[in-house]
Amino acid sequence: MSDSPTSAPHEPLHVLVLGALGVVFGDIGTSPLYALRECFHGDFGVHPDAASVLGVLSLMFWALILIVTVEYLGFIFLADNNGEGGVIALTSLVRKAPLGSRRGKWLLVTVGLFAAAMLYGDGMITPAISVLSAVEGLNSATHELGHLVIPITLAILIGVFLIQRRGTAGIGALFGPIVLVWYGLLAVLGALQIARHPRILAAVLPWHGLGFLLRHGVHGFLVLGAVFLVVTGVEALYADLGHFGRRPIRLAWGCIALPALLLNYFGQGAHLLAHPEAADHIFYALVPTWGRVPMVVLATVATIIASQAVITGAFSLTRQAIQLGLFPRFRVIHTSARRIGQIYVPPVNWALMICTLALVVAFGQSSKLAAAYGVAVNLTMLVSSILFFVVARCVWRWRWWAALPAAAVFITVDLAFFTANLSKVMHGAWFPLVVAAVVFSLMATWRRGRELLGAQIRERLVSWDAFRARLAADPPPRVAGSAIFLTGNPDTVPVALLHNLEHNKVLHSRIALLHFVPRETPYVEEKDHVRVVAMGENMTRIIADYGYMEEPSVRQTLARARELGVDFDPTATSFFLGREKLSGERAAHALADQHIFAEQFHAAGEVRAGLAVRPGAASVVRVPDVVFDRCGDVF
């Protein structure tokens, strides 16, 4: 546990609170558009009589308190990986935990990575349901524009994905104030209805929720799948821990988001007590007729902000997966020179856009999309609760009596919601599960392929002792100039160096071996980034450590090495970028995962294309380290 993120911002507290409101609470703040409606109007909706309204609101109230306030902000927020949150950070903590069983650790890590893969499915559904539910308010404002709901939604979503390339740093400062206005209106609209029907406040008593479940039996239990919609977006609170820190997020939730959400949900319930016929459009029923069009506009902007947070979250998740060796090295574009978290990953962006647009067209209504929503987040929450218990016991060394009761309550609540959400699978919830399975299989295939490829490469490597013996027995000519070889293993001679010696019969007068080491921490302190080791024979080893939230850079590494006494003239230095290559025809009987790995391998392009090579270098030489004739050689 750490008190603050490694990237701890230095802005004033009120600025951080406002920023957290705009980035972290956009998703959960748009749930009032559809959450209560689905409890009474969705596939498993119940009749909105007074007892049912009180019961559903009681369940919503305690879901927000137990899951968001207590479980996440109170407990899971304690588990950070050098300040960073999210299920991948939690999984990294488990990987370092001293568990007795290697098989058990492997299983936990696998489940954690699958939960991370689930977030991609959520990243596709959230923009679709959020924007569509906001634009559907046109039906309440004027029926003349109802036929334009789908085209307008598609146009907005296309615009959201197209602007990702340019980044949102310029308009990001507006997110907080806009979401603050949104929460303010949620609170006002709800408070007005509560003032008219104050008996709705009785829903804070838990026995109304328990009574609802007992009265309706299985049907009431299935309604939990709709109740769960009030906490979708909770994973964003944990994932953005490193951007804002615990205190700003907790203050934004306790002082602004939670009160506004409760007031609005209770206001919707109060209105239903008097007007049960409004269940299918309950959110906009709170808005006066003259204000519905402006409210649709504001709601649309709020959902765009919520979608933006989910999309950028998918980008960040992809970069973390790349740094941990779970994905090929896709091109990661930084869209802001001031904020390292402002990134853009083209393949992910286009995949999300295509799937999101397809979801809008296929489902057509936010109420139908709601049936597919929630499973991904729910499963991620359940896994996070399990991993939290492992971290509490095995990393922090909490006693059983301290760790087990809290974990048991959280896992029981999460499991109850997950069981209810399973009823959505036949109504569209299969989609995020399929997405997760595809993403997870791609990660597993890439990791396994790289491990097997690495094993074959290691068989062909030469140790430094053997290399030195060779140099002593037959010293090659040394030519003027410097050479820098990128290497994946500092303990063996780079094949690119051997290739150069074999074909050119010479060595440069000065040689540096540059090795990047990914760490399971988000950031590496500046003083620990670069290490320099003299190897003799006028050769130097440069080892650069970087965290999974950082981008390795040759330029920055050499600048740091120069401070440590290693000074290479860039105009007289050649960079040798080694790479592996798969070539030739694959056998017709090759397994599917062999084909998948080959496509991933070639799609990744240059393995080190993401490294920023020093400008002004004399030359950059790309040498194939190893050439495999068939992908089957790897598997």
pLDDT, tens digit, for every residue of 42-72? 667 789 999 999 999 999 999 999 999 999 9
* 532 Cβ contact partners less than 8 Å away, ≥ 6 residues apart: 540, 541, 542, 543, 561, 564, 565, 566
Q: Say if residue 384 is in the same domain as residue 518.
A: no
Does residue 231 sit within a domain?
yes
Mean pLDDT rounded to a whole number for the chain: 82
Write down the pLDDT at residue 608.
46
Closest CA to 625 of 400, 480, 411, 457: 457
Same domain, 290 and 175: yes
Give the DSSP H or E segment for 370.
helix 366-370
Q: Is there a domain that residue 504 lies in? A: yes
115 & 255 share domain: yes
- Work out the pLDDT band at 525, boundaries 50, 70, 90: confident
Rounded average pLDDT over 582-596:
47
Query: What number is the average pLDDT over the span 425-450?
Result: 85
Q: Is the pLDDT assigned to residue 616 strictly greater than 70?
A: no
- Whether residue 480 sits in one domain with residue 415: no
Q: Are residues 182 and 273 in the same domain?
A: yes
Residue 459 lies in a domain: yes
CA distance 361 to 365: 9
Last residue of a domain, one of 422, 438, 466: 422
Residue 439 CA to residue 432 CA, distance in Å, equals 10
Domain range for 621 is 455-633
- Does residue 397 share a domain with residue 542? no
What SS3 class is residue 435?
A: helix
pLDDT tens, residue by residue, 98-140? 777 778 888 888 888 888 888 888 788 889 999 999 998 887 7
Of 406, 422, 438, which residue constitutes the final position of a domain? 422
**436 in a structural domain:** no
Q: Indicate the residue type of 465.
A: D
Q: What is the pLDDT of residue 634?
A: 34
Q: Which of 321-330, 375-384, 522-531 has the highest mean pLDDT?
A: 375-384
Same-domain check for residues 321 and 465: no
Give mean pLDDT, residues 431-450. Answer: 86
**Do 353 and 472 fall within a single domain?**
no
Is 347's pLDDT higher than 60?
Answer: yes
**Segment 565-587 mean pLDDT:** 66
Question: Are residues 411 and 462 located together in one domain of the fold?
Answer: no
Per the model's pLDDT, the better-predicted residue between 260 and 313 turns out to be 260
pTM for the full predicted model: 0.77
497 shares its domain with 352: no
- State whether 179 and 304 are in the same domain: yes
